[in-house]
Each structure stands twice: as structure tokens, then as C-alpha cells.
Structure 1
Amino acid sequence: MKMTLPDNERAVWILKTKGPLPLIELAKDLNITTEGARFQLIKLANEGLVETRSESKGKGRPQQVWSLTSQGHARFPDAHADLTVKLILKMRDTLGEDALQDVIEANGRDGKEKYLKELANVSDLEGRIGGLARIRDNEGYMATCIKDEEGYLLIENHCPICAAATACMGFCKSELDTFRAVLGDKVSVERVDHILAGARRCAYRIKDRA
């Protein structure tokens, strides 16, 4: 997902992708002085996009940490959230829960087929995870993947269907099932962070069972 925010809101993008940060780290990522970063953050705070809190870590003075407000998170697209939620609720009321789940499962099958087709020529696990991250990033999830000592971590810093997923958790289950199907039976995929559970992002721990 390409950054479309104006230059004076670059800190919003950084806080969205990295989570809460102290001033000195934000200044480093912005490639400006701490005073310049503070000036930008105060301006964004006055606009209701960011906020600061005091955080203690061990001994020493508490550290001021900056994070996004709900208005700051709203700077990123949510795929026509209001209309989507209304349609979900109307479908549930009119056709019933089973019919809604059938539609979600059908949508999940479409996504699985799409991902499998785009990754058809990629056989190694790292390549498939990287490819899946690129697909999800293009779909607006601000996705990336990292490799560490435990395996792989697929990170999604934004959920463009968050409102729909809040109205119906079936979407989240369908996504997890899709990832497992796309990466194969020899791979373990577990959600370790979940936006709907209060985390700042969704993240999936991926391991080769072998």
C-alpha cells in the first residue's frame, strides 16, 4: 500500500506501521531533528490525529510515547465502512445467519483461488509468504513479512474491512482459513495479534511443520 498522506502527516504513517514510538525514534524515522519532530507532532495532536502518554520502563524517568488516536487511524481507508456494515446487518436480518456465513465462505473461496493463482509459480515457503504479503499490501492491508528465529511473521498494519469484521467475525476466520489453505498443510499459521482484540495490528506466526 503506497503512502498517500501529505508530507506533513508522515508521522501518522510511521505510527501506523510501527506502533507507538518515543520522540527520538520518530525523529530518526522522519530524518529531522527532535525539535522538528516535536513541532510536527504537536500540530498533528492539535488536529486530533496523535496523542502522547507517559510510559515507564525500568529505572529512570518516564518516557513520552506518541501514538495514533482513533481519528488518526481513520486517515487510512476502510472500504466504505458504513455501507458495508449496513449491508451485513441487513443480510443477517433478512436472510439469516447461515446465509451470511455462506456468503462469507464463498468470498473466502474467491480470495483463496485468487491468491493460489497469483502464487502458482512460487514453490518455496519464504517466496509464498512474501508473495502473499505483497498481495495483501496491494489490497490495502499495509502488509509486510519478516523472518526471525521462530519462523516468519506476516504483519498487517491496517485492516481496510475492519468495520465489516467488527460486525461479523466470520471475515477474520475466513482470512485465517485462506492463509492456511494458500500456504499448505505442511505449514502452521496462527494469528498472534488481532486488531479486533485491541492490538494495533493483525499478525500471523507462520512455521514450517517440518
Structure 2
Amino acid sequence: MEFERTLGDAPTRERVARSILELGPSTAAVLAERLDLTPAAVRRHLDHLIEEGAVEPRTPRVYGHRGRGRPAKVFALTEAGRDRFDQQYDDLAVQALRFLAETGGDEAVMEFARRRVAGLETRYREIVEERPDVEPSVALAEALTQGGYAASVREIPVGQQLCQQHCPVSHVAHEFPQLCEAETEAFSRLLGRHVQRLATIAHGDGVCTTCIPTVSSPAPANERLSQR
């Protein structure tokens, strides 16, 4: 299955898989509505993707009061499913980081990881300079999306949750968690508050999630930059 083709030309099964990749674990009903397909057609393609090991059904987490009946299952990409999409890493990256760890130690790897997120910070600054009133978390999600992370922000009872549906370096980060740690440091620095990483694709979760706690009267993103 080729995942490089455009959405309009892609086979329906690829569209189903890419929708899950970009927007996260989804129910069959949501996929059907999103892709303008019948639920029966979506389930047929999901069955094939499950057989191929590209997708797996999961019981969704329920926050707050749980209603009557079982929640509809959601379908998430497996590690093998993610491998079908272009990944911005290869064996050379892993080998290079292993060499760096052997010769310079863990701190050298961490310093590399911190330098790597400089691109994210540059994209963030460009967004807030173009749109001074943008909410900081939204600007961060847009900067991440530009870098291939398919990120979004949603409201939760304690603040906001930053969701990254895709991680272009997940296999590398599985062996070198410093990449995730440096990202989290950058999130805190750009948002001007402590954030907490709750889950990562690199360690088997379906989505990278970060909790952004509520603060009183948050400043616009451009003001945060001017205070640095």
C-alpha cells in the first residue's frame, strides 16, 4: 500500500488509515462521517487493516461521568501501521545517536536533543509574529503540525491537552527518550508554565499527550516572547 499519494487519489483503505494517523484513534461512526462513507464500508476496511496488523481496536478512556452502556470502540494505528507512512528518520540516525552516547555520554545526547527543538521554537515565533493575538497553545500546535506532528489542542477540566497524533521520530525516541524530554522542556519554555507529558507514541501510546494546566490571565503568545 502506498501512503505517499494524495488523499483524493488514495485508495479508500489508505484514507481510513491516514485519517486515524492525522486525527487520532476514532470510532467507525466518526470515520464514516469524516470520510463520507457508509459505516459498513468503514468497518470492512478496518477489518482488513486489523488483519494486516496496521490497526487495532481499543476501549476508549472515559473522563468524568460515564453514561449507560459500553462506549464505542476506537481504532488506532499500531506501530506497524505507522511504519507504512513516511518517517523522518532512518537507521543512520539511530547509529549516530548511539555513537554520540558512547563517546559523549547521555548529556551529549540531551544537548543534541535540545538543539533539535530549535526548529520548533523558530516556527512558533514566526506564527506569533504573524498573528500576535494567537493563543500560545494553539501556536505551539500549529508549529508542531508544520513539523509533521499532526498536533491539536483540546480543553480538559484542569486546562488544556496538547495532542500529537503522529511522531516522525518515534522509533528513535523509543531508544533515546531525551528527544521527548527536550520537546517537553521547549513546551514549558514557550508556554511560560510547567507542563506534564502524559503519554508518548514512542513508548506505545496511540497519541503523544501533554497536559497544559490553567493559569490565571494567560498572556498572548507575543507577550511571552517579549518577556524572554
* TMscore range, shorter length: 0.7 to 0.9
Alignment RMSD: 3.2
Instruction: Quote the residue 1:31 is aligned against.
Output: 36
Give the Å deviation of 1:156.
0.3
TM-score between both structures, scaled by the size of structure 2: 0.73
Cα distance in 2 between the residues matched to 1:117 and 1:91:
31
Deviation track 1:84-130 (CA, whole Å, cap 9, x = no partner) reads 11111122223333332332233345543553354246555x62211
Match of 2:169 among 149, 161, 169: 161
Match of 1:105 among 114, 122, 129: 114
CA contact (8 A) 2:158 2:214 kept: no
CA contact (8 A) 1:190 1:206 kept: yes
Instruction: Quote the residue 1:142 is aligned against.
Output: 150
Give the Å deviation of 1:204.
1.4
Aligned ranges 1:45-194 → 2 under 5 Å:
45-52=50-57, 66-109=75-118, 111-120=120-129, 127-184=135-192, 187-194=193-200
Cα distance in 2 between the residues matched to 1:150 and 1:164:
31
Cα distance in 2 between the residues matched to 1:178 and 1:59:
41
Give the Å deviation of 1:198.
2.7
- Percent of residue pairs identical: 28
Cα distance in 2 between the residues matched to 1:63 and 1:205:
25
Cα distance in 2 between the residues matched to 1:110 and 1:63:
39
CA contact (8 A) 1:193 1:203 kept: yes
TM-score between both structures, scaled by the size of structure 1: 0.78
CA contact (8 A) 1:20 1:68 kept: no
